[in-house]
């Protein structure tokens, strides 16, 4: 019987993981400081550039069902307001204005930050929560429950996720919340 090439013992693996977690904590702290002191006009310019890249990307143009976050300036997230507006206005790929892209956005459900992704058809479907973050009301203007992405008939083709930082390969460093 052959042994695995991984000769690390459990203590070494635990130490390696702790080292990675520590490096991530340090990197998060550095990125937060950089974002905090970033010139607002540069930040706005960068946000616009990112949104333009997304809007012009073939993978965005061909997507039909998207999950996206609603940016929060207090968290210094990349602004998504133009993206969301465009998603809600764009007809589908064959030009049919009756079937737009379908957009799902997060709603925090409890104090443990569990989220559900609900379909919205307009920016007006959003309300401020207790932390002044926009999210969809659980029911629409007619009192009907919103469609939850987990009950959707079609799969999502694109997720636009917030992140504290990304590397050149697109790997994401989150805020450390799990």
Positions at the binding site for substrate: 70, 77
Residue 162, judged by CB atoms within 10 A of its CB (0-12, 13-18, 19+), counts as middle
Nearest residue to 64 via CA among 156, 161, 165, 174: 156
Residues annotated as binding site? 24-28, 70, 77
How many CB atoms are located within 10 Å of the residue 112 CB? 8
Residues annotated as binding site for ATP? 24-28
Taking the CA atoms of residue 165, residue 62, residue 105 and residue 116 in that order, the dihedral angle to the nearest 10 degrees is: -100
How many CB atoms are located within 10 Å of the residue 84 CB? 23
């Amino acid at each position: 019987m052959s042994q695995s090439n991984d000769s690390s013992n459990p203590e070494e693996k635990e130490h390696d993981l702790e080292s990675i977690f520590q490096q991530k904590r340090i990197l998060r702290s550095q990125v937060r400081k950089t974002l905090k002191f970033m010139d607002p006009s540069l930040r706005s310019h960068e946000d616009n550039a990112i949104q333009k890249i997304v809007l012009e990307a073939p993978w965005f143009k061909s997507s039909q069902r998207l999950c996206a976050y609603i940016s929060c300036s207090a968290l210094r997230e990349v602004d998504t307001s133009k993206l969301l507006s465009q998603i809600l206005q764009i007809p589908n790929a064959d030009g049919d204005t009756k079937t737009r892209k379908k957009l799902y956005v997060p709603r925090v459900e409890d104090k443990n930050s569990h989220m559900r992704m609900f379909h919205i058809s307009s920016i007006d479907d959003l309300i401020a929560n207790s932390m002044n973050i926009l999210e969809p009301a659980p029911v629409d203007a007619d009192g009907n429950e919103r469609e939850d992405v987990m009950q959707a008939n079609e799969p999502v083709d694109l997720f636009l996720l917030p992140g504290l930082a990304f590397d050149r390969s697109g790997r994401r460093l989150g805020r450390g919340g799990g």
